[in-house]
Structure 1
Amino acid sequence: MTAAGAGRAAATALLIRIASAILAYATQVILARWMGRSDFGIYVYVWTWTLVFGDLVHFGLAYSAQRFIPEYTQNGRLDLLRGFLRSSRWFVALAGTGIAAFGVSGLWAFQPRIDPAELLPLYLACATVPLYALGNLSDGIARTYNWVNLALLPPYILRPALIVALAIMAPLFGLAADAASGMGAAMIATWATAIVQLRLLHRQLARTVEPGPRSYDPKGWASVSFPIFLVFGFYTLFNYTDVIVLQFLRPSAEVATYFAAVKTLAPIAFINFSVVAAVAHRFAEHHVAGADDDQRRLLAQSIRATFWLSVAALAGLLPLGWLMLRLFGPGFEEGYPLLFVLALGLIARASVGPAERLLNMAGEQRRCTVIYACAFATNLIACIALIPHLHMYGAAAAVSLGQVVEATLLYLTVRRRLGLHAFVFFTPKPAP
């Protein structure tokens, strides 16, 4: 693909993600008003478990596809390419089904100890996991071929739109406006979008990859995929620990309020997403070329852009936060002070910019794994310690503390391993 084509693909991806963020926020508002706070809290908790297992059950293959597919294509190893494309989909389907069956068995065994309002949604979540995981793999494969629309439109646009449509239609079938109906809508939407995406991906691959014999390298695939799985696994756990622990220790209505506050500040994450999309490949180029001055200049520019754009976005969002939370329904405005606690962590994380991506491009994936493991452990321990006393404010404080630990370790690792200052106020201003 040409540089212009890659730029258009990146711009398309960013526009789709922005549209999906708006749609996702509207979807949560509609579901919250439809279910009410308590059932929406149960739905959020159960859907979070779906996201955790759906993001982990592909064991890194959704990300390693972006290495193996170009490598096999450029080296003319089409036999290994065909083998990877076929076996990865079968592996994820079987692994997802196995995890779902294990989950169903666990729910059956512990059924007397589970809140009856959570039981059916949890069963539906188990049924959702295999297709959610396959959707993640399809996303990774399609991105590698720069089929941006095929990668992003089904999960980020079609699925939330279907969830809302099915929720609105639920009363026509005599279904109650509760967490079980919401999770049922999410399950149907996930299955439908994943199947459509898989079908379209299969058709595109048939046109792109010449038919022929297949070869398999499971040991090589595992050796690359597993370290990636660890990095993104700890990152996934870090992102969802607060909601899971909060549901165990506090009422569902409080979980709903907390989740609404988190989603209100979600647009801040797109600043880092945009900066990373623009500079990740340039980090790799400068590292390979040994262009230390260019690397230092690019790092300084990207950190400043991430930090000051995040500060500006927070300055615009925080005054509107109370009104945005009111959109979810009565009582959600109680979460307004949470926005300021969560903002502290976001500012801390923005202060080091795309440092994690710099480390990955420089071959420091193992240290990134350790960093995210430490951030996850900090978040988990802080949640357990603080939530019983500070309730949802304890969850927000735990997340912010985890982000401070993450940012600190990223700065120290970049400094020690690469000799660069990855902090907004320590980074020297680039020379003109």
Structure 2
Amino acid sequence: MAGRGAVVAALSLAGAAGVVGAGCSALAQFALVVVVTRAFSAEEAGAFFTATALALMVAGIAKLDAGNGLVYFAARAVDGISGYIRAALVPCLMVSGLAAVVLYPWLGPLALVLPVMVAGDVLLAVTRGFGSMRPTVLLDGVLVPCCQLALVAGAALAGAAGWLPAAWGLPYVPLLVLAVVAVRGRVTRTPYLPGTVRELWRHTAPRSVAGAIQAVFQRADIVIVAALAGPVQAAVYTAATRFKVVGQLANQGLAQALQPRLVRALADGEHELAGRLYQSATVWLVLLTWPVWLAYAALAPWVLRLFGPGYEAAVPVALVLAGTMMVATACGMVDVVLTAAGHTGTSLANLLAAVACTLVLDVALIPAHGALGAVAGWSGGVLVKNLLPLWQLHRRYGLHPFGRHTLAALRVRGWAAA
């Protein structure tokens, strides 16, 4: 029992590091949106937000979820991990390179950053598989968003809207260089073992499809708003929903710390330990994010004025966002737990249902209601994405986001704070 308590304590510390990085990233991204909306017209801001959303969505697809596959094998300490890394990188670079060529007419030089973004993300996942959160926190959580903010602010001071995409994309280059250094410091090059490609992609293929759908689910809303309602509504929607990145990044920060431990616990059949980890992470999510959502709902009329004249009209969008994210965080990291248990096909089906719900609502509501219709579509998809796996985990394993381990997690949190 003491050993299990130590694991939960380790999760709390690793999760805290992930959340710190997520918090830094969220603040920098929020400040970036404020800078862009204050310095440029709504049309220019909307065009920039649409371009970056498209780049992030395509990069998310091109990653093929190879990073999570590498976390799985690195956490299990398989032989020949360097061969798995090569097997993961090659197809990701091919897909992202093709995407860069296809999207260059729309994204310009920003398209050339796509392979850099993808490779850097995959390599950072390797370091997490070995149990180290530091490279992810420092590079992805601090370096990239802070450099993006500084460069975008420089473009704003110069009044150069055309330089915004380049300023946003350039920080991914040093991230890739430093990620390569971090991986080389942890991985010894070994001979390429037979069957490596087949084993990696047999595990990862279902998640590759799911990862692509997840990338579409997270970013397509801005692109759809721009297509159906124009760049001005895209700018309003981006500003009003910017705080959703707080929940996404906090969830991501904890998930990155939790995933390797969950894989090991579930592979060993230790469902009680998996439940402790799940409940510990959930209480962290609720304690860290619910105050943000409640404050955002209460202060939305004043917060939205930071983005400039006219943005305060999006208060209803902010209220829907806050309520939805409170429900989602109360469910915990249900999809992470589900995939760690090996149910990648079920996770894929859940994502398909969520995306279908979002698209149907978007097409029905955005033309008449603009940003409010978009957040309603997104909200419907988020609820489906969280409630379905919550029910599946309860039915198959009896796992719940809250329970008798919640108080133990709070005691660990109190000890860490002391």
TM band (smaller chain): 0.7 to 0.9
Give the one of 131, 135, 141 matched to 1:156: 141
Is residue 31 of structure 1 aligned with residue 36 of structure 2? yes
Letter in 1 for 2:160: A
Deviation sequence 1:366-402 (CA, Å, 0-9, x none):
1111111100111011101110111111001111111
Counterpart contact for 1:61–1:88, Cα < 8 Å: yes
CA 1:401/1:208 → structure 2, altered by over 3 Å: closer, same or farther? Answer: closer
Q: Please, which moves more after superposition, 264-273 or 283-292?
A: 283-292
> 1:219 matched to which residue of 2?
198
CA distance 1:286–1:152, shift in 2 (3 Å): closer
Report the equivalent of 2:115.
130
Provide the rounded CA distance (Å) in 1 between the counterparts of 2:235 and 2:57.
18
Q: CA deviation at 1:226?
A: 1.1
Matched position secondary structure for 2:63: coil
Shift of residue 298, structure 1, vs aligned partner: 6.8
Q: Which residue matches 1:65?
A: 70
- SS across alignment from 2:193: coil
Query: In the TM superposition, what are the counterparts of 1:276-315 in structure 2 within 5 Å?
Result: 276=255, 287=266, 306=285, 310-315=289-294
Alignment of 1:144-223 (within 5 A): 144-170=129-155, 176-178=159-161, 180-190=162-172, 192-201=173-182, 204-205=183-184, 207-215=185-193, 217-223=196-202
1:140 shift after superposition: 1.0
Residue-by-residue CA offset, 1:90-128 (whole Å, 9 max, x unaligned) = 443333212211223xx4xxxxxxxxxxx4xx2233222
Cα shift readout 1:179-229 (whole Å, capped 9, x = no counterpart)? x21112123233x3234324423xx51x44344533352222221221121
**Aligned-partner residue type, residue 20 of structure 2:** L
Question: Aligned to 2:307, what secondary structure does the other structure show?
Answer: coil
Change (3 A) 1:349 1:197: same
Instruction: Letter of the 1:372 partner, please give it.
Output: L
Q: Distance in 2 between matches of 1:282 and 1:61?
A: 18
| Structure 1 CA distance for aligned equivalents of residues 294 and 251 of structure 2 | 17
Deviation at 1:17?
1.7
User: What secondary structure is seen at the aligned counterpart in 2 of 1:327?
Assistant: helix
Q: Which residue in the other structure is 1:100 paired with?
A: 100
Structure 1 unaligned blocks of 5 or more: 108-118
Distance 1:57 1:409 in 2: 26
Q: Compared with structure 1, are the counterparts of its residues 366 and 31 closer, same or farther at alpha carbon in structure 2 (3 Å cutoff)?
A: same
Distance 1:161 1:277 in 2: 21
* Shift, 1:42, TM fit: 0.7
For 1:429 and 1:145, how far apart are their aligned partners in 2? 26
Match of 2:413? Answer: none
Task: Give the superposition deviation at 1:353.
Answer: 2.5
Matches within 5 A, 1:227-306: 227-269=206-248, 272-273=251-252, 276=255, 287=266, 306=285
The answer (yes or no) to whether the contact 2:266–2:274 under 8 Å persists in 1 is yes
1:368 and 2:351 correspond: no
The AA in structure 1 aligned to 2:170 is: I
Q: Secondary structure at the match of 1:263?
A: coil
Q: What is the correspondence of 1:398-409 to structure 2 with a 5 Å cutoff?
A: 398-409=377-388
What residue in structure 2 maps to residue 45 of structure 1? 50
Contact 1:139 1:151 survives alignment (8 Å): yes
Distance 1:268 1:148, change over 3 A: closer
Cα distance per residue 1:128-155 (max 9 Å; x no partner)? 2111111211221222234433233233
| Counterpart contact for 1:82–1:215, Cα < 8 Å | no
CA-to-partner distance for each residue in 1:336-375, whole Å, 9 max, x for gaps? 2211122232233234223223322322221111111100
Structure 1 position 19 matched with structure 2 position 1: no
Specify whether residues 297 and 129 from structure 1 end up closer, same or farther in structure 2 by C-alpha distance, changes over 3 A only: closer
Deviations 1:9-38 (A, max 9, x none): 443222222122112211221222222322
Moved more, 308-317 or 296-305: 296-305
> Where does 1:358-397 land on structure 2 (aligned, <5 Å)?
358-397=337-376
Q: Measured at CA, do residues 158 and 340 of structure 1 come closer, stay the same or move farther in structure 2, by a change above 3 Å? A: same
- Per the alignment, residue 327 of structure 1 pairs with 306
Aligned to 2:412: none
Higher relative contact order (CA 8 A, sep 6+): 2
CA distance in 2, matches of 1:40, 1:377: 28
Give the distance between the partners of 1:19 and 1:156, measured in 2 at CA.
6
Q: What is aligned with 1:142?
A: 127
Q: Is the 8 A contact 1:342 1:400 kept in 2?
A: yes
Deviations 1:38-75 (A, max 9, x none): 2111111110110011112121212111122344xx45
In terms of Rg, which structure is larger? Answer: 1
TM-score for both structures, normalised by structure 1: 0.81
**Cα distance in structure 2, aligned partners of 1:89 and 1:237:** 21
Q: Is the 8 A contact 1:254 1:392 kept in 2?
A: yes
In 1, the alpha carbon distance for the partners of 2:180 and 2:287 equals 43
How many corresponding residue pairs?
A: 401
Distance 1:100 1:147, change over 3 A: same
Q: Pick closer, same or farther for the CA change 1:399–1:188 going to 2, 3 Å.
A: same
SS in 2 for 1:353: coil
Task: Quote the Cα distance in structure 2 between the aligned partners of 1:429 and 1:93.
Answer: 42
Q: 1 CA distance for matches of 2:309 and 2:275? A: 49
Structure 2: gaps spanning 5 or more residues: 1-5, 409-418
Q: Identify if the C-alpha distance between structure 1 residues 350 and 149 changes in structure 2 by more than 3 Å, giving closer, same or farther.
A: closer
Report the Cα offset of residue 334 of structure 1: 1.7
Contact residue 345 and residue 403 of structure 1 kept, 8 A: yes
